[in-house]
Amino acid sequence: MPLLGEQTQFPSRRKSWWATLIFGVCLAVLMLIPVWVSSQPEARIAFGMLAVGVFAMTVWILQIVAEVIDGRVRIQRRGPLAFASHRFAGFWGILAGSAITAGALVFVIAWLLPGARQITSASGGVLGNPVGFVLVGLGLLGFVLHRGVPAAGLVVEVQGVRSRTGLSAVQLKWDDLLSPVLLNRRRNSVLSLELESGANFVLYPIYFGSDPVIVAEVIEYYRTHPEDRHLLADPLAALERVVELDAPPA
């Protein structure tokens, strides 16, 4: 029987990635049109960077909503049991925020500096206030860093569970940890770890590269079986212990 009782993984939004992909590619192509037709080098640079940002943001969103990790576990082979995401998880989000910010800054320079040519539309009108684009880019960068980039991973060790939210390290001791919970965020499963104090930490699968159902089962087992925590020094042995108990009878 599963250690978490009736909790199951929520269905992934596997069909939604087509709409996201088509919309993102079309928007990126629209951003590229001024690159081809504009006579202003500033406009070509700005819209080129914005197009790169839009495309990167599309790929990053697809990583979150379309990646299927059902039944898959990614761990580090050395050290304590560590569920590890791909080393480049979040790269596309960082690229998107950086490119959008850089493209918008070109608009700002042309908009503010004395003597600089303002970027104009095909009809000759000055394009809108670019500060909004700067805020979008910086906001996206802040969001990606807050969610855990560089990739946080999730370590289950003798002392407790260790991870990171954004750039802040999180150390959860076994005695303070409640049973893990699976939440439904945009129809995808995410792992919620709560302390007896009421503090709550939500971890997205993209940042620990594994099925949250399996990870929750592992955490719950070692939370309730302190006598077996010595196995956590060997990642394969630690996983095999939980799989053996959870496997159906032959």
In 3D, which of 104, 170, 101, 201 has the Cα closest to residue 141? 101
Q: What is the pLDDT of residues 105-151, one digit of tens each?
A: 887 777 666 655 555 444 344 444 566 667 777 777 777 666 555 55
- Residues 138, 189, single domain; the answer is no
104 domain-assigned:
yes
Helices (H) and strands (E) in the chain, counts: 6, 7
- Residues 97, 208, single domain; the answer is no
1 domain-assigned:
no
- Residues 176, 160, single domain; the answer is yes
Q: What is the pLDDT of residues 90-109, one digit of tens each?
A: 778 788 888 888 888 887 77
- Residues 60, 143, single domain; the answer is yes
Higher pLDDT, 90 or 68: 90
181 domain-assigned:
yes
- Residues 58, 103, single domain; the answer is yes
Per-residue pLDDT, 140? 73
- Residues 133, 28, single domain; the answer is yes
Per-residue pLDDT, 155? 92
Total of domains in the chain: 2
Q: End of a domain among 148, 166, 194?
A: 148
- Token look-up 């070109």 returns 106
Higher pLDDT, 90 or 153: 153
* Residue 198: domain span: 154-246
* Percent with pLDDT over 90 in the chain: 16
pLDDT (average), residues 225-230: 94
- Residues 133, 207, single domain; the answer is no
Per-residue pLDDT, 248? 52
In 3D, which of 107, 94, 21 has the Cα closest to residue 59? 21
* Percent with pLDDT over 70 in the chain: 68
110 domain-assigned:
yes
8 A C-beta contact, residue 174 and residue 155: no
- Residues 142, 177, single domain; the answer is no
- Residues 131, 221, single domain; the answer is no
Per-residue pLDDT, 228? 94
Q: End of a domain among 148, 182, 214?
A: 148
List beta partners, residue 203. 191
Per-residue pLDDT, 86? 66
Q: What is the pLDDT of residues 5-55, one digit of tens each?
A: 444 343 444 445 666 677 777 877 877 777 777 777 777 888 888 888 888
34 domain-assigned:
yes
Q: What is the pLDDT of residues 161-172, one digit of tens each?
A: 988 766 677 889
121 domain-assigned:
yes
10 domain-assigned:
no
Per-residue pLDDT, 125? 41
4 domain-assigned:
no
Q: Where are the beta strands (DSSP E) in 17-137?
A: 81-83
Q: End of a domain among 104, 129, 148?
A: 148
- Residues 37, 102, single domain; the answer is yes
- Residues 135, 167, single domain; the answer is no
Q: Which of 44-53, 99-108, 185-194, 221-230 has the highest mean pLDDT?
A: 221-230
Of the chain, the end-to-end C-alpha distance in Å amounts to 14
- Residues 158, 214, single domain; the answer is yes
